[in-house]
Amino acid sequence: MFFIYNAFVFLVSKILNIVALCNPKINLFVKGRTVVFKTLEQKIQSNDPTIWFHAASLGEYEQGLPVMEAVKATYPDHKIVLSFFSPSGYEVRKNNSVADATVYLPLDSAQNAKKFLDLVRPEFVFFIKYEYWPNYLNELKKRHIQTYLISGIFRKNQAFFKWYGGFYRKALDAFTYFFVQNESSKKRLLTLGKTNVAVSGDTRFDRVATLLEKNNTLDFIASFKNNALTIVIGSSWPKDENIWVEYINHCPDNVKFIIAPHNIKKDAIAELKTSIQRKTVLFSEKEGKNLAAYNVLLVDTIGLLTKIYSYADIAYVGGGFGNPGVHNILEPATFGVPVLIGPNYAHFAEAVALVNLGGCKSILNLKELQKVVDDLLLNTAYRSETGHICNTFVTMNKGATAIIMKNIDTTHL
């Protein structure tokens, strides 16, 4: 089976090289991997003790950050190596402050796995949430390197639980311990005979809870808001925006909107701005303007959304009209803000739970949006209570990082 898998990885690598010629994102994916081993040779010395974290993309990085920070604080003499699979993670967080070396993960060939581990020589390895690369896991197992899955989640439709999933089930043997988000994940692993598992919860709760301790001040947002009721629409996609633009265009002047789209390319931003019939200003064009005079602020940059949520009276998190579904609802929730989302959220346990609790509202169309938003805007007590549910939900689910740190085997470090 490894022969077939490795042949497939080889074929994929050749196809990616061709696609990279005309696809900018794939070009980053391919080009970034050409310097991985050189980067590791430069930043990791032969006598450096190391710990390796792997994140698929940006969301998994944010999820694993509390554990990375805890490990770094506990073992300051160890170098942290952080790898990403996706450009959307690496390109945004390649200059992070927690890792000593941040690289793309080379494609999962047997040769790459051996060379990567020869250079990194990790004493501990943490995979965040998912991504189970058979060659890397097989090599880790051969080298008897302690390997942990943190904030893991297992669903019945994954290959591990199918009749044809034996190859992938075997890869799970490399894990020293599984720290999973919920009981259902633990039960599914138990059906595979995996007893080295504990329900630790989701480290994202620890991550977002710390946001309240940070300085979230943005002077330009305060100037724009000018004490008006403000709705923040974060990580929006066109289907989200189509509904919201209709609402915005008919909303009273005393309500302001901040939109931070998922796609910030100039043509997409220009099209969105044109569709809005209210006085609108772009983040990139804000200098020298009286921001308080505008009704809508379009944020055509990245990295500010978390702080912007702290200014929201109501937050909408995009992605819920597409697949796989809604983006991170915990960031606005931690600020005690009522959260609205689209209908596709069933794969996100925190969204399901918060909808059931009443802190998060799922809307299907413009009519539902109007009803929910108008109720929240007009009823201050209702808005406050709904936001309180969100903040309490985050607070009550903290603690995954402490459980993980308490239970990892550190006897040889």
CA nearest 2: which of 237, 170, 150?
170
d(CA 28, CA 89): 11
Answer whether 278's CB lies under 8 Å from 298's CB. no
Q: How far apart are CA 276 and CA 269, in angstroms?
A: 11
Cα 201 from Cα 261, distance rounded (Å): 29
* Three-class SS state of 404: helix
Find out whether the peptide bond into 76 is cis, omega within 30 degrees of 0: no
Rounded-to-integer distance, Cα 76 and Cα 72, Å: 5
Alpha-helical regions (H) of 75-154: 87-93, 110-120, 134-142
Query: 3-state class of 192 per DSSP?
Result: coil
**Considering only CA atoms, which of 303, 248, 252 is closest in space to residue 273?**
248
Give the span between the Cα atoms of 388 and 184, in whole angstroms.
28
Q: Which amino acid is at 385?
A: E
Q: Give CA 11 to chain center in angstroms.
A: 29
Residue among 395, 320, 310, 382 nearest 351 (CA): 320
User: Which two three-digit tokens encode residue 15?
Assistant: 């196809």
Alpha-carbon gap, residue 236 to 244, rounded angstroms: 10
Structure tokens that stand for 305 in this block: 């959304």
Has 60 been annotated as catalytic? yes
Catalytic residue among 60, 131, 241, 350: 60
Catalytic residue set: 60
